[in-house]
Amino acid sequence: MKNIIIILFVSLLFSTSAFSQNSYGSDLSATVAFPTGVNAEYFNTGYGAIGGFYYEMDSNWRIGLTLGFIYSGINGEEVNNYFQTLDQQQGTVELTGNVSTIPILLSFKYMLPGSSPRFYGIIEAGLYLYSTNLNGTITYSGNAGTAPIDQSEFSSEPGFALGLGALFPVSKEISIDVNARYHFVRNSETIKVKYDYDNQGNYYASEETVGSNHFINVGLGANWYFEL
């Protein structure tokens, strides 16, 4: 993971020095995220912020670094229904929890020529960091009893995003930024539940996983633009 982050920063530095620079700036948007991948129904709508900084080249390309934080809860009812349908699971799962997503992405934006509003396209790639926290119980049928669930997991996955946006100028330096991105991540937002008993009340090791690997975020915020 450290090597990938180093590559991202080196690529950013090389890109900004390979072209003549005529401006720089930053942006920050409040965002709403909607899971869209396989098993997306097990995760609730997320909320957070996405922003970063950039250099704008004479060619209308903006090259920079995008950072974000998105917090979403899990859908306990849907997760319980899923685990209850498994052959080896005879009982109920009651879960509460959340997933925090932190994208760290090298960003390329192409600003379409024009005045107001100024439209742009987004291509981004890098790492998605995930922190998953789960709490609850597994209640087994018969006399197998109840087992607690208390799990915290941190993971990282590569991914990329494609998007569109528009800037509505408020002043020479500040614009309202409306944007949307579709994120493609190799594997993300994973819920893992380990079973401690079989149907006869005997211990055994088994693990079931559900996850969603795509999501859309829609953002509204501000963009600060400064000429060099």
Q: Are strands 91-111 and 21-35 parallel, antiparallel or unpaired?
A: unpaired
User: Please, are residues 55 and 227 in contact by the beta-carbon 8 Å criterion?
Assistant: no
For the question of whether the overall pTM of this predicted structure is more than 0.85, the answer is no
Give me the phi and psi of 61, to 5 degrees please.
-85, 135
User: Please, are residues 119 and 164 in contact by the beta-carbon 8 Å criterion?
Assistant: yes
The encoded tokens of residue 9 equal 């920063």
Give the whole-angstrom CA distance, residue 157 versus residue 145.
36
- Is the pLDDT at 1 greater than 60, yes or no? no
User: Please, are residues 59 and 19 in contact by the beta-carbon 8 Å criterion?
Assistant: yes
Q: What is the predicted pLDDT for the residue at 32? A: 98
Give me the phi and psi of 63, to 5 degrees please.
-120, 125
Amino acid (one-letter) located at 68: G
For residue range 188-220, list pLDDT tens digits in order.
666 766 655 555 544 333 455 666 678 999 999
For residue range 38-82, list pLDDT tens digits in order.
778 888 999 999 999 999 887 789 999 999 999 999 888 887 777
Which fold is adopted by the domain 2-13+29-227?
A: Porin (2.40.160)
Q: What is the predicted pLDDT for the residue at 194? A: 61
**Please, what's the b/e burial string for 134-143 (b: 16 or more CB within 10 A of its CB; e: otherwise)?**
bebebebeee
Q: Could you state, in order of their start, the residue ranges of all structural domains in the chain? A: 2-13+29-227
